[in-house]
Amino acid sequence: MHRSPTRIVRPKPKSGASRLPGASRVSVVSLVLALGLLLLVSLVCGVGLGAAGIGWGDVFRLLGAGLTGGTIDAGDVAAYAIVWEIRLPRVVLGAVVGAGLASVGVAVQAMVRNALADPFVLGISSGAAVGANAVILLGAFAGLGVWALSLSAFASALAATALVYAVARSPHGLTPLRLILTGTALAYGFEAVTTVMVFGAARGEAARSAMMWLLGSLGGATWAQVPLAAVTVAAGWVWLRWRAEALNALAMGDETSAALGVQPAWLRRELFLVTAAVTGTVVAVSGAIGFVGLMVPHVVRMLVGADHRRVLAVAPLAGAVLLVWADLLSRLLLAPAELPVGVITAVVGVPAFLLLMRRGGYAFGGR
């Protein structure tokens, strides 16, 4: 059956009516510029601060040498390796992952019309955990070398995506309730498999590494991981931004969106594939970092309103800034040891989110 292109038909607003619930409170352009500057400062701080003390003058000199292809003294080789091979790819990957989680959080909340939804509600991260822990605890796919963990996690995330889709699909398409129930139920199943693997494996450093991955960590970041993650997140964001008006319609309900020219079943299927691809990619390189995809979309809506065109312009930058600083705190609080990034995002994010919610009068879709 031929499907006509989706076209949003907007009724003319009545006099004095607002464009969307949660009208804009802050200029999006100003907010994007401010967050862009803050992200740049955050990246520099993420490179300059750490357990190994490197002076700021040396940090800027080594960054300049790396960017321009300049030379360094023999005594700076160790510091150069710390700046360029350890810290810089880590903070860049943290920004990419934070942007991806925030963008997907916006999309998932619109897709299932649930204020509690986040990128992991579909069970994809729990599925990825099975593959990742098969490598960490059982030594599976050792022949893949340094790529074993990421590739195994991504492959199991894709398998979990296919399973969720197959189970949740109905003659009426992917309905929000079936998606949430299926994703939640299968997530419990994947978590049970992971738990059996943890308890069945030898104790010690392997179990600790598994726990770090389950709570999220950027400790294994390398330059090789950045391009694929960045391209996937950027492509997903571009698609979501292009479909922002359709997301506005979908958030109003299936009947309303259909009346506005949007096919909710088809759009939800597209959203499922895009969010699964982005989530699987970022989870494969960072583990299951929680709370970013839940908190950031709501905080951004408090600032700019409910229009997805505005939310998707701001949310990626906010998510990137949040995760860069969360990762920096995870490195500094117990240096030279590290905390899982997910612990920091929860400890810092929960009280901040509750405070903003109460002060802003945010109603999660209704008062």
pLDDT tens for each residue of 64-112: 887 877 777 777 788 888 888 899 999 999 999 999 999 999 998 888 8
Which of these, 354, 304, 274, 341, lies nearest to 98 by C-alpha position? 341
Q: Percent of the chain, pLDDT > 70?
A: 86
Please report whether residue 20 resides in a domain: no
**Are 91 and 327 contacting, i.e. CB atoms less than 8 angstroms apart?**
yes
If one counts the domains in the chain, the total is 1
Is the bond leading into 316 cis (omega within 30 degrees of zero)? no
Give 249-259 pLDDT, tens digit per residue.
888 887 878 88
For residue 273, give its domain range: 28-47+56-360
How big is the chain, counted in residues? 367
Which region among 154-158, 268-272, 297-301, 363-367 has the lowest average model confidence (pLDDT)?
363-367
Please report whether residue 334 resides in a domain: yes
* Whether residue 359 has pLDDT greater than 70: no
Please report whether residue 366 resides in a domain: no
**Are 184 and 160 contacting, i.e. CB atoms less than 8 angstroms apart?**
no
What lies within 8 Å, CB to CB, of 252 at 6+ separation is 260
Please report whether residue 15 resides in a domain: no
Structure token digits, residue 143: 């022949």
Structure token digits, residue 284: 């494969």
Provide the CATH number for the domain around residue 157.
Answer: 1.10.3470.10
Give 27-74 pLDDT, tens digit per residue.
889 999 999 999 999 999 999 888 887 888 888 888 888 787 777 777
Please report whether residue 21 resides in a domain: no
Q: What mean pLDDT value characterizes the chain?
A: 82
